[in-house]
Every structure is written in structure tokens, then in C-alpha cells.
Chains A and B, each alone.
Chain A
């Protein structure tokens, strides 16, 4: 299939496998309703959602590409690295997923211990087990549990006044680990929402370019220049880097279901067929992996 047939695309969304609120099959039906030609599921540090979507897909459904979003950090800062078109059976990608999962599990265990030490919250062992049974439990899951157990008034109260207050030295996947894992699995590593860093920062100009150059040395191949939360100056700056460093360009909404008010399919890119040439080059590079 020619890449120009993909006009309405969204390559960044989350399912219940990470912190989205739609299950993989729910997201598939939303993608159908939104009239997307091509979509990718990019759960945090997880790829299980992709196989779920693949098995739920039926003849005539929108085209699909496997994805993932790794939360990474090194001395230079935090980076969200998207991976696309990898071989899902490759040990390289599974290794990164496993590492991310273990770090997350360690983190949540340590956090529960610290909350118990600092505030005297007694988490029943069966609740801890249930929490840890989640694929990738994070702050919202823990906050919900604390509220349900009556420790806090709300999830926000739990996160703001307790969970964020206990400082723990967290370990992260290093960006080169994620990038190499994606590359070895035959995939393409792309920097997610570059201007917003790991979600909360704001990088423009020199600072942005320095971060990008840091990752270029590790092998990053693209930038998510079309993003629901970007303004024109941000998009323009990133497309400029795509030209300067010969990068692939992707488009994503970062849809999280009810957890964020992002509209599925809103990527600030109306038609991929007449977007920056980096988009078409990306689609050609992953064309063998699109189903």
C-alpha cells in the first residue's frame, strides 16, 4: 500500500496497559469512529497492548503499527523515547520492556514502604499484591488505592500531599539503552513531544537543540513534531531540526482516554500526505511493519 494512502494518522496513544483508560479493544473501536487511516499504540514501557490490538483487529480496520514509549533519564535530563516498527518478538525490545517494568515495580514497592514509614499507612498485603499485578502501576493507581483505603480524600490529595512528598531515588532506563534496544529490534527511535521534555518542561531554541544533539549521538532517528499540545512556533522549530539533521517526523495526540482531555486523532497534522517530507519517509521506513 502506498504511503500516501495514510492521510489521517495518530501514532501516539495509551491504553489501560499503561495509564490510559481505554482497553486495547476499546481504543480500536474509537480509532474506527475517528476515521483514522493509521494508528500506533504507545504504552509506557510496555508493548503488550500492541498484541492485544493485533488480535482484536478485523478485516477493513484502520492500519496499525506497533509502538512503545520509554521513560528515560540520564545526566542530561529526562526523555520520552518512542519506538516504532520493531520486531515484537525480538529479545532486544523485550529486554528494555522488562527493565522498565522491574524499575517501575521496584519504585512502587519502595514508595509503599516509604509511605508506611513516614505516615504510618498500613496497606493490606492483598491490596499490595493486587496493585503489583497491574502491568505498570504508577502514582495514579497508588493514589486511587489510598483513597479507597480512606487514607486520603482524593487521588489528587494522595499524589500532591503524600506520594510526591516522599522522596525516593528513582532509577530510570537510560536513553541510549532504549534507543539501542529499539534499533536492535529493527525499529525506529523517535523523540516524543520534544519541546515538552518528559511532559512538564519547556525546551525551545538552543536548549532544545542541545538535547536533540545529545540523543542524535545515541542514535535517535526522528522527532514527534506534530503533537496535539504544540503551537506553531514549536512545530516549526522541530521541523527545522528535522531538515537540519535529516530526521524522520511523526505525528501523535498522546491520547490517554479520560485521564487527559486530548482528542484522539488531534495531532495538529491534518493530512499526512501533504505534511513535511519527513513524515512520508518515516511511513516508508516502517511500511513493512504496518498491518
Chain B
């Protein structure tokens, strides 16, 4: 009969179903299937359902009975309507049922992004498709969907794919992206928006790096970087390699999110919203690991061939240099060139080992341009290794859960800045008292009875040397300064409980101010450090 074709292929029964299977032909269909299946009793069955337009309940029963005699039934190329029936009736739980994928062409489509694993094209006004390099990308697609969903739950604005399609010999995932324009395109076409781009780009980056990820949900980026470090062993002296590995190992475990491929093609302006895309590299780790891949995207890969950035991002190398410098300055919240250069060098060390490894694997030392590139990068790396002792840089912001246990972490964080500024011990202790009072106050009351995070930000400015410490929480709006100061002339027994801590903070700092802004309590205190 025409609805059933098939044969036994080795240890497998191969069937092709087509047309409609309903009560009119279910009996014949079953007889035809049995005639083939009985030649290899109990063997695995592979059913190609590409031409199957409809299956009624009588048809379902035929498949069900086949499943009773042959445990391993796998149906492929199922059209969406038929798949829905299989899914609703639980067949997808009893056997492997693979959907047929819509075929999408990207010929002539605008390329809007390119990442390590694939290329993103706009297929129409409202939709984009990410085509994966790997032909067997279904697992990667699944992974990216999962991490994008996790990121969204954690508050990162991103698009989640709603469909998987076939593109040429590979797979693609389709996203809705209405009227989107990537930051690369904005930088290329509207250079006057540079500063706006820097601000939005850094705000989103800080949001990503400020997002705590529950343990085990995302890969640990440091592990990958360690493997790059191991790869470098034959190309460095023993001493250099030991130093490199020690510095990578010293990067602390960090449960904050990193994007892993944070360049301007992966940041889109959608209407008025800034959206992050291409989430498959999402991980957790220290921000230096992110800065390394950003350095590569804007500068590293184009250092010797400035056309690379033009090809990849659409803007020229000068724009890339300016943008990267401004981003780093805004991210570190400093205009101190020495400090910016210092962090850039740390990022370059990781960036370079990644590029060297990539070049060795892709081009090899045997090809002329591979050899030139690799030798130059290696000499740079060796030079940087000679003058760098740590890959850590201090962020002036600490984001922790506001609990009493984290007090020592907060104090240690603030003290490091004070020590660097040669703050006298007495002033240091006064500041510590204030920090303790304010943080404990947040830990006890801001989110009670729940818990939440607090951000501590430290800035040291010159002339005269002054430290500014900010506490930010998203708890109940509360102005601790509004409370009347306790009457300290009264005896301890007569005094009202509470209020004393804030009083002490006020006393020990030069200035203390409170404001409530965008759902956040912001307490700012300042003190002059006199040497």
C-alpha cells in the first residue's frame, strides 16, 4: 500500500509513512507494517514521517501496538500538526519523536551578528535566525535556550528563541527582534551616539556582572581559561608558565554572571530597550575574564590587521579604540590612565593566550601568517608576564547578600582602599565603625523578614584626599538619618534603644546623606583622609 514503505536494514526496521492514516486504512497500514516488522522481530524501528499529513486515533493505535512489540521506536520528520497529536497523547514520552524543522533560507539576508558558534541573520522585519556553525547543533540550541531563560529569570534583558529551523545543512534558532539595531551598527552609522552607547553598554555590563547566579546553573569560565593556560605550556619557559598558571589560579571563585562574548554586535537596541543576545557563552566568573574577551573583540583580533574589526563589527579601528577606552574608563569609574592601562594589560594576558591558542589550532606555526601572528603575540605575552604579578583588579563596587556574616567581607573591601590611600589608622578605625553600623542596619532591617543584597561602593578622590562610601539596597524605603539623635547625656538605662549606631556613624564621618532613588536606598558618607 502506498502509505507504508520500508525494509529491514541490518539490525533496524526502517519505515516510511505518508498520506493520511485513519480508520479507513488503519487495518491495511497495520498489516503492511507487520509484514515488514515481522521479518526482524523486536528490532528497533525508525519511522520517517515526512510525508505523513494526518494520523487519526485509529492510526495512533497502530503505532501504539507496534511499540508494544518493538520497544525502541523512533519517529523522525514529524510535521507540526502531527507532532502536536503525538505530544498531547503522550507518544512523545513513550518513544522518541522528532519534529520536522521548517526550512529557512538566509540567502541575501542581512548578517547582524557573528559569534564563536554561529551567525545571526535578519530574515524579515520582525525575526532573526541564529545559524549554528556545527551541523549537529540541536544540543547547543537547547543549551542556549536554557541559559537565556535562566538569564531572563535573573533579570537580564534578552530574547528567547521560539522555534528551531533547518538552514542549509545546519540548524538555526529563531528569535523575535522587532526593529532592532545592534550597537555596532549604531556606532558605525551614528558616531555622535558614541557616549550614549558607552553608557548603555557599561550599564548593561555592570548589570550582568552584578547578577548572582545560583551555584551549578552556569559553567565556570575560569575552568576554560585554566585549560587555555595549560595549552600554553610548550610555548613558554617553565618559569613564565608557572607564573601564568599561578595568576589564573589566584582569580577567586565568583558566582556573578559573565556573558563571555560581550561585543557590540551582541547588544541590540530594540525600541527603547537594550537587549543582550547570543547567550550560549553565558557563564560565571570574575570580570577580568570578560574584559579579556572584550579586549580581543575590539582590539586584539585587529591589532595587526585593522580591517578585521571593520569586517566584523562594521566600524573602523579608530572607533574601536575610542569605544574600548571609554568603556573601560566608565566600567572602572576612573579617568586615571595608569589604572586603565593596568587593567587592560591584565585583560590582554588572558586575551593573548586565547588568541595564540586559537591561531595555533587554526593556522598552525607552519603557515607564514600564522607564524608571524603567533610569534608577535607570544613576545607580547612574555613581556606582559614579566611586568605583571596579578590578574586581579579591584572593582570599587562590592555586591553581597546583606547578612551579618558578610560584614567582615565588606570591612575588608573598604579597608583595602584606605590602606592604599595611606589612611592613618585612627581614621581607618572611625570609618570602619561607620561602615559596620550602616551595613548591620541594612542586614537587620532593609529586607526583614526576607533577605536581599547590598552594594558597597568606594571612591577615593584627591585634593584633599577624601574617601566616599556608598551603601545601596533595594529594601523598604527608610531614611536612617531622619531619626532624632539619642540623648547621650542620659544614663544607659534611660536611653531609648536604637538610633545609637547611626549617631556613631554621623559622628565619625565628615558628611552623611540619604536619598531614595529608583527603588533604592542610597546612603553616601564622606571623610577626609589626612596623612
Cα distance, A201 to B34, chains bound together (Å): 24
Cβ A229 vs Cβ B24 within 8 A: no
Q: Does residue A233 face the partner (Cβ distance < 8 Å to B)?
A: yes
Cβ A196 vs Cβ B57 within 8 A: yes
Cα distance, A24 to B224, chains bound together (Å): 73
Cβ B68 vs Cβ A202 within 8 A: no
Q: Does residue A261 face the partner (Cβ distance < 8 Å to B)?
A: yes
1/0 contact string of A80-100 vs chain B (CB within 8 Å): 000000000000000000000
Cβ B89 vs Cβ A204 within 8 A: yes
Of residues 243 through 291 on chain A, the ones whose CB sits less than 8 Å from some CB of chain B are 259-263, 266
Cα distance, A220 to B25, chains bound together (Å): 32
- The number of residues on chain B lying at the interface, defined by a beta carbon within 8 Å of a beta carbon of chain A, is 25
Cα distance, A186 to B36, chains bound together (Å): 48
Q: Does residue A55 face the partner (Cβ distance < 8 Å to B)?
A: no
Please give the distance in Å from B65's CB to the nearest CB on chain A. 6
The verdict on A259 contacting B27 (CB below 8 Å), with A204-B88, A231-B89 known, is yes
Of residues 202 through 232 on chain A, the ones whose CB sits less than 8 Å from some CB of chain B are 202, 204, 228-229, 231-232
Contact partner, B61, options A159, A229, A259, A263, Cβ 8 Å: A229
Cβ A200 vs Cβ B22 within 8 A: yes
Q: Does residue B500 face the partner (Cβ distance < 8 Å to A)?
A: no
Contact partner, A156, options B28, B58, B85, B89, Cβ 8 Å: B28
Cβ A202 vs Cβ B28 within 8 A: no
Cβ A202 vs Cβ B85 within 8 A: yes
Chain B residue nearest to A266 (CB atoms) is B68
Cβ B24 vs Cβ A156 within 8 A: yes
The verdict on A202 contacting B91 (CB below 8 Å), with A156-B24, A231-B64 known, is no
Q: Does residue B343 face the partner (Cβ distance < 8 Å to A)?
A: no
Cα distance, A164 to B31, chains bound together (Å): 22
Chain B residue nearest to A233 (CB atoms) is B90
Contact partner, B23, options A195, A200, A266, Cβ 8 Å: A200
Cα distance, A263 to B89, chains bound together (Å): 21
Cβ A199 vs Cβ B58 within 8 A: yes
Q: Does residue A149 face the partner (Cβ distance < 8 Å to B)?
A: no
Cα distance, A55 to B25, chains bound together (Å): 37
A-B contact pairs, 28 of them (CB 8 A): A156-B24, A156-B27, A156-B28, A160-B24, A195-B57, A200-B22, A200-B58, A202-B56, A202-B57, A202-B85, A202-B88, A202-B89, A204-B89, A228-B65, A229-B57, A231-B90, A231-B91, A231-B93, A231-B94, A232-B90, A233-B88, A259-B27, A260-B27, A261-B30, A261-B62, A262-B65, A263-B68, A266-B68
Q: A156-B25, A202-B60, A231-B94 are in contact. List 19 more A-B contacts (CB 8 A).
A: A159-B24, A160-B24, A195-B57, A202-B85, A202-B89, A204-B88, A228-B61, A229-B60, A229-B64, A231-B64, A231-B91, A232-B93, A232-B94, A234-B89, A261-B30, A261-B31, A261-B34, A261-B65, A263-B68
- What are the 7 tightest A-B residue pairs by CB atom distance, in nearest-first order? A233-B90, A231-B90, A229-B61, A196-B57, A200-B23, A202-B57, A261-B30
Chain A interface (Cβ within 8 Å of chain B)?
A: 156, 159-160, 164, 195-197, 199-202, 204, 228-229, 231-234, 259-263, 266
